[in-house]
Amino acid sequence: MKLPIYMDYQATTPVDPRVLEAMLPHFQNDFGNAASRNHEFGWKAEKAVDTAREQIASLIGASAKEIVITSGSTEAINLAIKGVVEMYGEKGKHIITSEPEHKAVLDTCKHLEKQGCEVTYLHPDKEGRVSVQQVQDAMREDTILVTLIWANNEVGSINPIREIGALCHERGVLLFTDATQAVGKIPVDVEADNIDLLCLSAHKLYGPKGVGCLYVRRRKPRVRLVAQQDGGGHERGMRSGTLNVPGIVGMGAACALCEQELSEEAERTSKLRDLLEDKITGELDYVTLNGSREHRLPGCLNISFSFVEGESMLMGINDVAVSSGSACTSASLEPSHVLNSMEVGDELAHSSIRFGIGRFTTEEEVNYAANKVIDVVTRLRELSPLYEMVQEGVDLSTVQWQGGH
């Protein structure tokens, strides 16, 4: 076993060696531009891109013509939400989303609010999930789009997308789902799941960084978008720019592998996740699971350790790469907006750690990480007067603290 150990698979994944192998020829020998229609170099590149589109579409139950290549999920999110608002703006300006969305969705919605859109931000339940009823109650005559995350990137909770999609189709409202964390980990079928628009990113499923795509439904209903990047009219006019052929080939290969190995990988990562949780909770008290126990991603475990600061913990387990519940996006130590929306409470949010288990995680690594966490939490709690008081049976909520704060 090599140190440090990588347990941050929700942030990014290593490129699978089989994916890299598929990509390599397209950097040197087969380096053509997929838009060059006059010679073999271009034809070869175009054929490679077409194959990748088939592989991506197959994983999500779409047709290859419905796949629009982007630089990743953030770009796909901008294209989907802004593209729908510009195209269907005359029908209405109301969007429904949820508080624990990824920042790419929230920031895009905030931008559109400045331009006159109205956005309803649904408040999730304690598990970080949104219900069909909530979406139904929020719908109005002028609602044109529901944009909901499929699986949350911080706590792994999965939303009832299929049922929400059915409701949207009944009401003639488009459904866009940020499926960046879901695709390749759980079964996704855009037809059965009633999805009109969906984004994914190659680097979350063992492909390269800097490439992703947007699925855009072609029939029942045919979804139309206003392009957000103009140029040579590539990608059926929805996204101009020379295609990143090696990246696209890698994304296709990564999707094909996910499709082949989905169920066994889900089973293996679930087992490792449960092993990690059982070991930790078997040795430590005051450990809280964040998210849903029943509806969650196989490889995601987000837990809070009372009476410990997340930052101190990260320093203690510095040879295990994980994420903490304080926003790493800024210098401030604000608790994560996802945990805030779930009303986890500042203390627990600050002491939360997200463990991401993936394709290359071993049982040996899980055991090492669990022992390290147990060790560090035990040590930090020995320094905590609050933990000592609780051990002695003091109810902290009744304590009168001295002095102002």
Active-site positions read: 328
Least Cα distance to 127 among 300, 268, 244 occurs for 300
Residues near 8 by beta carbon (within 8 Å), at least 6 away in sequence? 321, 322, 323, 354, 356
d(CA 17, CA 208): 11
- Other CB atoms within 10 A of residue 63 CB: 16
Q: Could you tell me if 322 and 304 are in contact, meaning their C-beta atoms sit under 8 angstroms apart?
A: no
